[in-house]
Structure 1
Amino acid sequence: MTDTETGRRLSGKVALVTGGASGIGKAVCQRFAAEGAKVVVADLDAGKCVAVAEAIGADAWGVALDVTRQDSIEEAVRFSIAAAGKIDILVNAAGIYEVESILEISGERTAKVFQVNIEGLIFMTQAVARHMVERGAAGRIINFSSQAGRRGEGPAVAYCASKAAVISITQSCALELIRYGINVNAIAPGVVDTPMWDVVDAKLGSREGLQPGEVKARVAAAVPAGRFGAAEEQAAMAAFLAGPDAAYIVAQCYNVDGGNVMS
């Protein structure tokens, strides 16, 4: 049987996952490893990255990464190539969230969200794409957007704007890079039960005078599927887009959202 038939469709591949120490990024690292890939877990906290990599086992490494710093991006790419020999797959899962509305958001906070969610993604993509082009090998780049970036959700104007930009960036990069055999696509999660949502619940609940968990319960009830999504469900889509069955998929954004957005 082939690797695809045995459920190890990423055998022989090397994946670099930003935001890999927690939430969706961590789930992607775990799923990719289960699919046979070597995985580099990249995030701000080197200790947490190493812990995730050690829990995965052999052929996984952890590296500190600050996507707002070009030197950190370049070092993470160099580390990945030195450790695993190459990079076949980049997953841009690093991101930050701001709750503030248009009446409250500051230039400093907006700049920080854009620096991480937009510029960080652009320059991570650039650094890895250059490596892929130099190797002359096909590759996959998967970006995490958000349903908030498609329909707008207040009060989170900077975050929504940044995630809408991710979809446009994905399309532009995809059309440029497919000539080199590099497929670029995106995933737009709905509401996913990660540590970030605990922060959102606390912030919005405080603003509205609600008890902890009430915002999450209200949001979950509004999802057609009737629940929050799991990080593992996002990772399953990422594994598909990284695998051989997605070879003819280019410049698309997939909703993995329990029915929140129909397209």
Structure 2
Amino acid sequence: MIPRLPTAVLSRSLLSRSLVGSSLPSRRRGFATSKVACKSAVVTGAAQGIGKAIALRLAQDGFDICVNDLEGNSSMVEDVVNEIKALGRNAVPAYADVSKLPQVEAMVETSVNSLGPLNVFVANAGIAQVKWTMDSTEADLQRLFEVNFYGVVYSDQVAARHFIKQGSGGKIINAASAASFRPFLMAPIYGATKAAVRSLTQSLALELAKENITVNAYAPGIVDSPMWETIDEELMAINGLPKGENFKSTKKTIALGRTSVPEDVAKMVSFLASPDSDYVTGQTMLVDGGMVFS
């Protein structure tokens, strides 16, 4: 007589046998932790604002950080370095103008020599300008593209070469903008530089995929940061609104009903720098509270 097994036991037994004989791949599947250990990241333009928030968030995630900015911002850079060390991670300052290729190369060398192999490069450094297209000068165009686009190209090139040399892959994360998805009045050249970054991110993702290097970008909207203070001041001179009013007026254009803070952007970069994004490349992730499509 064949003993009768409880239904639950029988079901588990049949399920077990069906899985053993199935064509499912043997590779283990699961979710990677967002925390990493003994890894390093370079964050450009990290003395303040979004860059600082990114540097601190990645340090919280377990990265040692190379904190880059211009030498004129050295006191702020040192403050960020000290904050990272207070979190229990290592950090090193690296002063460089990202629009100068030799300085970018020296910056990455500083990071690798001080913190070990490079794992993530965040090309965050950028500048903004409020001016009509017809009023933009040759000098305006040159400086905006030098920092916002050439600086990203140089950063991506140098980072990718180090990743390839190390043979372990890596992650490149570029600073785009909501302005790379739709035009904004009085920011035409700035928007063009960010659209170029978005296009570069897509192309470079295809080019570097064979090296196990992912290339993505983040696209902030209206962020309460030193960059927006500069934009606000320039808008004041044009429309006469009191300081802060231009910033406040943007809330009605945002679906979530609030402007963002640098930490909102840092959360997205945290994801893009983590193992959870290993199958994501060529993407520009909006962090705008629904402004672009509202």
Q: Tell me if 1:178 matches 2:209.
A: yes
CA distance in 1, matches of 2:139, 2:103: 22
Equivalent residue for 1:98?
Answer: 129
Equivalent residue for 2:264?
Answer: 233
Offset at residue 55 of structure 1 (A)? 1.7
Amino acid at match of 1:125: D
Offset at residue 110 of structure 1 (A)? 0.6
Equivalent residue for 2:78?
Answer: 50
Offset at residue 14 of structure 1 (A)? 0.5
Contact kept, 8 Å, 1:138 with 1:181, in 2: the verdict is yes
Offset at residue 48 of structure 1 (A)? 2.3
Q: Tell me if 1:80 matches 2:111.
A: yes
What do the CA deviations read for 1:34-54 (whole angstroms, capped 9, x no partner)?
Answer: 011111110113332222111
CA distance in 1, matches of 2:209, 2:53: 27
Contact kept, 8 Å, 1:10 with 1:242, in 2: the verdict is no
Amino acid at match of 1:122: V
1:101–1:17: structure 2 CA closer, same or farther, 3 Å change rule?
Answer: same
Equivalent residue for 1:17?
Answer: 43
Equivalent residue for 2:143?
Answer: 112
Amino acid at match of 1:219: T
Please state whether the residue corresponding to 1:151 is helix, strand or coil. coil
> Which consecutive segments of 4 or more residues in structure 1 shift more than 2 A?
45-48
- Choose the corresponding residue for 1:245, options 259, 263, 276: 276
Over the aligned positions, Cα root-mean-square deviation in angstroms equals: 1.5
Scaled by the length of structure 1, the TM-score of the pair is: 0.95
Q: Tell me if 1:153 matches 2:181.
A: no
CA distance in 1, matches of 2:251, 2:49: 18
Number of positions where the alignment pairs a residue of Structure 1 with one of Structure 2: 259
Sequence identity (%) = 38
Q: Which runs of 5+ in 2 are unaligned?
A: 1-31
CA distance in 2, matches of 1:210, 1:262: 26
CA distance in 2, matches of 1:20, 1:185: 18
Please state whether the residue corresponding to 1:141 is helix, strand or coil. strand
Q: Which runs of 5+ in 1 are unaligned?
A: none
What do the CA deviations read for 1:19-78 (whole angstroms, capped 9, x no partner)?
Answer: 111111100000000011111110113332222111211401111010111221111011
- Choose the corresponding residue for 2:288, options 254, 257, 262: 257
CA distance in 1, matches of 2:257, 2:36: 32
Amino acid at match of 2:175: F
Equivalent residue for 2:172?
Answer: 141
What do the CA deviations read for 1:146-197 (whole angstroms, capped 9, x no partner)?
Answer: 0112111121111010001010000111111111010100111111110111
CA distance in 2, matches of 1:107, 1:209: 27
CA distance in 1, matches of 2:293, 2:197: 19
Equivalent residue for 1:166?
Answer: 197
Equivalent residue for 2:160?
Answer: 129
